[in-house]
Structure 1
Amino acid sequence: MGPTHRGVRLTAEPHVLRATLTSPDGLNSLSGDALDALGAALDRAEADPECRVLLLEGSGGTFCTGLDFEEAAGDAAGGASQAGRGGAEFLALMRRFGETPLAVVACVDGRAAGGGVGLAAAADLVIATERSEFSLPEALWGLVPCCVLPVLVRRTGFQPAYAMALSTQPVSARRAADFRLVDEVVPDPDAAVRRLLVRLTRLDPATIGELKQYFRAMWFTTEDTDAFALREFTRLIDSPVARRRITDYTTTRRLPWEKPRP
């Protein structure tokens, strides 16, 4: 087990760099520090000529819950440009997942919400345990999952992503596999990764990169898509509804659905 830095623990294994989100509060949210640490993990994996896989996972029954609301509340107080900073960093990280010549594998064991769903959807392969569930609760906060939806729609198609965003209801790992957010539901994710490695280590990283580039060229997610997503995220997180609900949460620790409708 490797050291933990900025809420991410890195463990080097043969042909794999394992990046484990392990924040002290157990939410495994995507703070600026966590995003920086995940970017640094990708740098390290790419610099290792023997590495084939960047493995993303959570800890304590939570994969990732997305936006760090404490940080978002502070950013929102600094104005729209400051509020959009985290969104820009998140979009850049997901784009790197698509461009790296490594295979990015998300192992989800437990809860994935908001940006955590995006983190999984941006990976090349998603493995989940039976107890895992996926949700997009952004609308409850007065937001839209702007940064998540481009990569999610690429995986699932329009309607499953739309239903998740509108209903805000969690879906099980089996249901997520039905609409292709999850590639495999397994009792033992480590065993599934080992099986993948048997195949992936036979591929040259350049071939993995070419394969990913070809598929990326066939899809609609572009830098223009990212720019649109960031504009909308920045606008919405600075809206009165979102600012009020996020501030209420950071002040009272009560979630929006735990109090009467305003």
Structure 2
Amino acid sequence: MSDNNSRVILSISSDGIAQLTLNRPEVHNAFDDDVIEQLISQLESVANNDDVRALVLRSNGKNFSAGADLAWMKRMAKNSHQENLEDAGRLAKLMELLNDLNKPTIGLVQGAAYGGAVGLAACCDIVIASEEAQFCLSEVKIGLIPAVISPYVVRAIGERQSRRYFLTAEAFSATTAQSLGLVHEVVASPELFDDACARITRTLSKNSPQGMRAAKELIFAVSHKVIEQTVIQDTANRIADIRVSSEGQEGLSAFLEKRKPNWIQE
């Protein structure tokens, strides 16, 4: 758990919903090396906590995140190539942890989501944005590239759209982000986030934790793969494995016996 003075706050509800909150509203929730390390640490703790059923990533204040902190960028500009490589590696680690987290993840985006913040959104399983949200892959404006976030953003919006938005660095709206596949749902205002999020977490809580974890792994295993014998055999192995697992057996039994499975909390 984190205290409310932290730059990153983690709270976990009694029903197993973790809320991971960026808490630097005075600088538009920009992140630096310290924030990145805190996010990595908290994501690792969530991944290892069997009581957590889902993770919600959000920010306090008007903006989701303005991307990289200016003071951090000034420090990086003076660093050696090796220091920059190590620094970028930590941001890459953050994106990997969020993308591969063994729980469902929901991102709530209001206001500005610039640079690396677009990467955070792309790494979430489900993204809800407010109508006034603005997204921007702004790196080329200052002579940089959206490097470590690119695998996730390109996977979310596709190569064709990436060729536009990586190169133009133009801001785009929440509704455009939804049409691109980056955002799943748009709500009128951030005040509606909690209701929309609760609706989704209620749905997730009815599902097998093991099943959702395995389903996420399945998506990664088959995405962009040629449908050939290795992939076909892998999918057969996966369903056979989960059918004989404890949660698979419980789920099938509950369905056949017309009762609720034991992972649904009354």
Shorter-chain TM-score tier: 0.7 to 0.9
1:180 is matched with which residue? 181
AA partner of residue 33 (structure 2): G
3-state secondary structure, aligned to 1:25: helix
Report how far residue 205 of structure 1 moved. Answer: 2.4
Matches within 5 A, 1:212-251: 212-219=216-223
Report how far residue 48 of structure 1 moved. Answer: 3.0
2:60 is matched with which residue? 59
The answer to which of 45-54 and 114-123 deviates more is 45-54
1:8 is matched with which residue? 8
2:104 is matched with which residue? 103
Identity across the alignment (%): 28
Cα separation, 1, equivalents of 2:40 and 2:211:
22
Q: Is the 8 A contact 1:6 1:37 kept in 2?
A: no
Paired positions, count: 221
3-state secondary structure, aligned to 1:66: coil
Give 1:211's match in structure 2, choosing from 200, 208, 215.
215
* C-alpha RMSD of the superposition: 2.0
3-state secondary structure, aligned to 1:169: coil
Cα separation, 1, equivalents of 2:123 and 2:5:
23
If the length of structure 1 is used for normalisation, what is the TM-score? 0.78
Q: Does 1:198 align with 2:202?
A: yes
3-state secondary structure, aligned to 2:27: coil
Cα separation, 1, equivalents of 2:159 and 2:150:
9
Structure 2 portions without partners, runs of 5+? 226-266
1:254 is matched with which residue? none
The answer to which of 169-178 and 42-51 deviates more is 42-51
Does 1 or 2 have the higher relative contact order (CA < 8 Å, sep 6+)? 1
Q: Deviations over 1:70-121 (max 9, x none)?
A: 1232233230111223321121122112322211111001110000000000
Cα separation, 2, equivalents of 1:5 and 1:87:
26
Report how far residue 29 of structure 1 moved. Answer: 1.7
Q: Is the 8 A contact 1:7 1:24 kept in 2?
A: no
Q: Deviations over 1:160-217 (max 9, x none)?
A: 2221111111101011101111010013111111111112112232222211111112
Q: Is the 8 A contact 1:53 1:104 kept in 2?
A: yes
Matches within 5 A, 1:140-155: 140-155=141-156
Structure 1 portions without partners, runs of 5+? 222-262
Cα separation, 1, equivalents of 2:184 and 2:63:
19
